[in-house]
Structure 1
Amino acid sequence: MRITWWGHATTTIEADGTRLLTDPVLTARIAHLRRRRGPAPLAEAGQCDAVLISHMHADHLHLTSLPMVAPDAALVVPRGAAKLIHQDCGAAFSDRCIEVAPGNQVRIGSLEITAITAHHDGRRLPWSSHAGPALGYRVEGSPSVWFAGDTDLYDEMAAEAGPVDLAVVPVGGWGPSLGPGHLDPVRAAEAVRRVGARMALPVHFGTFWPIGFDWIKPELFLPPGDRFKTAMAEVDPAVKVDVLVPGESTEVSA
C-alpha cells in the first residue's frame, strides 16, 4: 500500500489496484483559510476510484474541489450530503453519491469500506441547515487502514476501528484554537493505542491557517506532527509514525 498526504485531511490511499481519495481539498484556499505550506496538490491527486468524505464541514466536504476529481469516481458521503452536493454542484455529482451511516459497507474495486462513528459535529454550518453523521472509515485491504476524519475519543473506538495496520489520525486543526470534537497530539496517540494500529500517519495540521493569523499561536501550526510522534513513543513505542510534508508518500506493508 502507498499513501500520499496532500495536506489537511486529504490523502490518496493506493492498495490492491484501487485508489481512494479522502476529504479532498485540492485548492490553495478555503474561504478565509489559505494554504500556508506547499502548493495545491498536483492534478494526479484527483485521479481516484472513489472519494471518502468524513463530514460536511467545508474543509472536508469542499465543494469547489469536487470538479477536480475524476468524473467517474464514486462519492462516498455521510447520509444527507447528497442533497447539499446536488444543490451546489448539480445532478452530475449527486448521482455519483453513495450515502452511508455508521455500520454501512460499500465495496470499491478490491477494497471493502466500512463507515464508522466519529465524535464530531456533522452539521454543515454556519449558514446551512444540511446535517448528517460525522464518519470515519475502515478500509479492509492488505494492509488495513482507519481514516479517522475528525473525531474525539469515544468508548467504542477500539471495537469499531481496530485492530488496524495504519491509522490516519488528525492531530491539530486550521486555526489558533482547537474546539470540541478534535484530537490534539496526546489524545491522538491515545486513539492510535486504542485501535491497536502498528503504524500511524498524523494529518489535519500544518496546512491551512486563517488569513492574517500567521503569527498567532504558531505552535499550533507545524509542531503537532512532531508532538504526536513524541506522544506516541511514550504511549506505545512499537507504533511506527511517519510525519510527512504535503505531497510526500509512504509505503505500508501488510
Structure 2
Amino acid sequence: MKFLHPAIKEGKKYLNPVPTSIETGTSIWAVLWKYLTNKNETTPKKQLGPFSTDTSVYQQPPASGLRITWVGHSSLLIEVDGLRILTDPVWSARASFSQSFGPKRFFPAPLSLQNLPPLDAIIISHDHYDHLDKQVIPFFASSNVPFYCSIGVGQYLNAWGIQPERINEMNWMDSFQITNNCKLTALPARHFSGRKLNNRFETLWSSFVIKTNNHNIYYGADSGWYDGFYEIGEAFGPFDLTMLEIGAYNTSWADIHMGPDNAVHAHLALKGKLMMPIHWGTFNLALHPWYEPIQRLLVLAAEKNIPLFLPKPGEPTEVTGAYNSKWWM
C-alpha cells in the first residue's frame, strides 16, 4: 500500500505521508495582528461547567464493554473489554511551555489525576503541549502503567520520571499486545512535532488502532486529511468508533488539521460506524468561534447520516450508539 509503511526520515526530520506545509505564509506579526483584532468568541463568554466525574461508576465494568470519559481536548479514558487506556493526558490549566501564559482551559479537568482508576496503558500520540503535559507525567512515575508513544517522545517521559522499561516507542505500523485481548497499532498521521521552533519533525506523530476481541477503535489524535485514511479503513476497518479532531482549524493549517468537514470525510474513509469529535471545546487554539466546530459537525453529520457520540466532559458514558449530551449549549 502507498501510505501504510514505517515513517521515513530525511536527516534528523521525519517526513509526512504526503508533502505537507505547516507554515501560515505570513509573518509572525501578521498572525499576531489577526489574533489581536479577531472579534470571534474564541473563548466562551459564559463559564462552562463545572464538570465532575462520579468515580463510583468505575467500580463496575461497562455492560457494553466500551465506556469513555472525555476529560477534554484529546484526553480520553477509554474502558474497553476489561482494559483502561488513557490517551494524551493534559490536565494543566494552559497548553503551553509556561503556566503563566498561553492557551487556557475553558474548564478545569473534571476528573482529578488522584481519582483516576487503575490504568493498563497510556498512549502519547506526539509531543505538542496540548498532547504531552509536563505537569502530568511525573504523577505516573511511581506507578507501573506502561506508556506507548511515537518514536522520540520517550526522551521526555524518561526525563520526567518514567522508567525506560515502561516506555514503548512505536514507529508507524508497529504493534504491541497490551494484553492477550488487546492489540495496539501505531499508524501514519499528517501532522508534525516539536516543543520548540528549532526541533520540529524530530520526533514522530501517530494515530492508533485499539483492537480487542469485541471492539475496534481508531484514535486519530492530530492529522490533516490525506488519502491514507482510505488505506487505513481498508486494512484495519471497519471501526466501531472513530475519535477524530474537529477543532483548531484554519485555511493556513489545512495540511495538518482537519476541521469538521475533513473529519467527516476521514470517518467515512475509515469505514467508521460511530464518530466522536475530539480536540475541540477545551482550549482557545484558533481564530474561529469556540463552538463553531461542533455546530458545523452536527450539520454535516445529519447530511451524511453519521451517528455522533458527544458525551459531557467528565461523565463516564457507555458507547452504545448515537448520543448527544448538548453540554456546550
The answer to whether the superposition gives a TM-score over 0.5 is: yes
Residues 309, 319 of structure 2: 8 Å contact kept: no
Per mean C-alpha deviation after superposition, the further-off stretch among 150-159 and 122-131 is: 122-131
Unaligned 5+ segments in structure 1 are 211-215
Residues 1:59 and 2:130 are matched in the alignment: yes
State the shift of 1:9 in Å.
0.3
Cα distance change of structure 1 residues 244 and 226 upon mapping to structure 2, 3 Å threshold: farther
Cα distance change of structure 1 residues 253 and 245 upon mapping to structure 2, 3 Å threshold: closer
Partner of 1:75: 147
Q: Secondary structure at the match of 1:64?
A: coil
Q: When you count strand as a share of all residues, which structure comes out higher? A: 1
Residues 86, 122 of structure 2: 8 Å contact kept: yes
Runs of 4+ in structure 1 off by over 6 angstroms are 175-178
Partner of 1:246: 313
State the shift of 1:93 in Å.
3.9
1:143-158 superposed matches below 5 A: 143-158=215-230
Q: Separation in 2 of the partners of 1:53 and 1:98?
A: 10
State the shift of 1:115 in Å.
0.5
Cα distance change of structure 1 residues 35 and 94 upon mapping to structure 2, 3 Å threshold: farther
Pick the aligned partner of 1:199 from 261, 271, 274: 274
CA deviation vs aligned residue, 1:222-244 (integer Å, no higher than 9, x gap): 23123212212223x0x310223
Partner of 2:99: none
Residues 55, 122 of structure 1: 8 Å contact kept: yes
State the shift of 1:2 in Å.
0.5
- One-letter code aligned to 2:315: E
Query: Looking at CA atoms only, which structure, 1 or 2, has the larger radius of gyration?
Result: 2
State the shift of 1:159 in Å.
2.1
Tell me the TM-score normalized by structure 2.
0.67
CA deviation vs aligned residue, 1:114-167 (integer Å, no higher than 9, x gap): 111110013333354682221000011222110001001111212225321100
1:12-91 superposed matches below 5 A: 12-31=77-96, 32-43=102-113, 44-45=115-116, 47-69=118-140, 71-86=143-158, 88-90=159-161
State the shift of 1:23 in Å.
0.5
Tell me the TM-score normalized by structure 1.
0.86
Partner of 2:297: 228
Cα distance change of structure 1 residues 75 and 243 upon mapping to structure 2, 3 Å threshold: same
Per mean C-alpha deviation after superposition, the further-off stretch among 12-21 and 177-186 is: 177-186
Work out the percentage of aligned pairs sharing the same amino acid.
27
Q: Secondary structure at the match of 2:136?
A: helix
Q: Secondary structure at the match of 1:197?
A: coil
Unaligned 5+ segments in structure 2 are 1-65, 97-101, 322-329
Cα distance change of structure 1 residues 121 and 47 upon mapping to structure 2, 3 Å threshold: same
CA deviation vs aligned residue, 1:61-98 (integer Å, no higher than 9, x gap): 22221123471111101111112332x314x3443110
Q: Separation in 2 of the partners of 1:65 and 1:128?
A: 22
State the shift of 1:28 in Å.
2.2
Partner of 1:213: none
Q: Separation in 2 of the partners of 1:101 and 1:94?
A: 17
